[in-house]
Amino acid sequence: MKALKNVQKMILLLVITGSFSSTNLFAQLPDEVLVKSPGLYPEGLVYDHKTESFYTTSVAQGKIVKVTKDGKVTVFADDKDLVSTIGLEIDVKRNRLIVCNSDPGASSKSSEATKGKLATVVFYNLKTGKREKYIDLAAIAPQGGHLANDVTIDDNGNLYITDSFSPIIYKISNKGKATILINDERLAAPAGTFGLNGLVYHPDGFLIVAIYNGGKLFKIPLNKPSDLKEIGLGDKPFPTIDGVLLLDDNTIALVCNNLSGADFPSAVYKVNTNNNWVSANTIAVFKTGNTFPTTLTKAGNDVFVVYAKLQMLFGGKPAVQEFEITKVKF
């Protein structure tokens, strides 16, 4: 009892002196978490502060795994309808994990019926792993190719999902109703390439959305999506954009990777604006080597990126045995 009181006094002293914080109370995350899961090929990445664990997806195996900070991997969800799991998001208020489920043709579950056509979003209870909802976005979209890629959530619990094979961004209301937010050829990419990719919700009421092919960013106001504008990026060093993460109102981090075989480096870039995302400039870079980084997440004050190594999967190479979740150091 005396020891407990001494600990309480010490914490109170730290608070008073300004040296106490949640990051001091809990063990720091390592610079790298090794994910030993042969053939996983993760794509999406989110961090759950409650359990101090990461969740990631699988292009090749169509499942969702939970990864602790010491690298312990457990399967969170692997139901029959998951083909290739891509982007994902945590809805903290509703205690659920939202996952984009598609078929780019590289999964053990791929089929002619779903390849390049599947675009669904699946909801899971974050605590139990029980599936709560399955929404078929392709069912409300025009004919053509479809691939649900990434998802973000606004302050009211509405979801926004990009379609990489059509110039479409979907909206799922907090009541679960799916609609098309925008279908605009300005968001299209050449046939056979990946178009719309990562996106983030900005608290001022707009989306920042990436086009993979060509490395473009668009600002899309939610109150009038047709007023979308391409964000001027000046002499940008990146020819592709995959994942996007909002660091603060005026700063994002974005991921560049290389499926084409062209000679340019994979990296994470920090991009800043001084005019509310009319234009922006690259201010820092974190080089990742030939690891095919895809998606970013915040963990406390840190940013982590997943090394998906998808060039090995799409290149038909032997299955990669392990993957990394790495702290970004600009």
CATH number, position 111: 2.120.10.30
Question: If pLDDT is split at 50, 70 and 90, which confidence band does 263 have?
Answer: confident
Asked whether the beta carbons of 272 and 280 are under 8 A apart, the reply is: yes
d(Cα 227, Cα 222) in Å, to the nearest integer?
9
Asked whether the beta carbons of 183 and 205 are under 8 A apart, the reply is: no
Structural domain count, the chain: 1
Over the chain, what is the mean pLDDT?
92
Picking from 324, 316, 322, the residue whose alpha carbon sits closest to that of residue 288 is 324
256 CB-near residues (< 8 Å, 6+ apart)? 215, 238, 239, 240, 241, 242, 264, 265, 266, 267, 268, 269, 293
Residue-level pLDDT at 27 = 57
| Terminal Cα distance for the chain, rounded | 46
Domain-embedded: residue 23: no
Beta-carbon count within 10 A of 194 CB: 19
d(Cα 10, Cα 20) in Å, to the nearest integer?
10
Q: Which residues pair with 216 in a beta bridge?
A: 211
Sort 251 into a burial class: Cβ within 10 Å, 0-12 / 13-18 / 19+.
Answer: middle
d(Cα 288, Cα 182) in Å, to the nearest integer?
34
Question: If pLDDT is split at 50, 70 and 90, which confidence band does 18 have?
Answer: very low
d(Cα 189, Cα 5) in Å, to the nearest integer?
63
Q: Which of 23-27, 48-52, 317-321 has the lowest mean pLDDT?
A: 23-27
pLDDT at residue 167 is higher than 90:
yes
Buried b or exposed e, range 66-102, using 16+ CB within 10 angstroms: bbebebebeebbeeeebbbbbbbbbbeeeebbbbbbb
pLDDT single digits (tens) 277-296: 999 999 999 999 999 999 99
Domain-embedded: residue 248: yes
Helix, strand, coil shares of the chain, percent, nearest 5, are 10, 40, 50
pLDDT single digits (tens) 51-92: 999 999 999 999 999 999 999 999 999 999 999 999 999 999
Domain-embedded: residue 20: no
Picking from 88, 70, 5, the residue whose alpha carbon sits closest to that of residue 34 is 70
Domain-embedded: residue 9: no
Domain-embedded: residue 8: no
**Sheet strands side by side (includes 96-102):** 84-91, 96-102, 119-125, 131-136
d(Cα 233, Cα 221) in Å, to the nearest integer?
19
pLDDT single digits (tens) 178-223: 999 999 999 998 888 999 999 999 999 999 999 999 999 999 999 9
3-state secondary structure of 91: strand
Asked whether the beta carbons of 239 and 256 are under 8 A apart, the reply is: yes
Domain-embedded: residue 192: yes
Q: What range does the domain containing 211 cover?
A: 29-327
Domain-embedded: residue 13: no
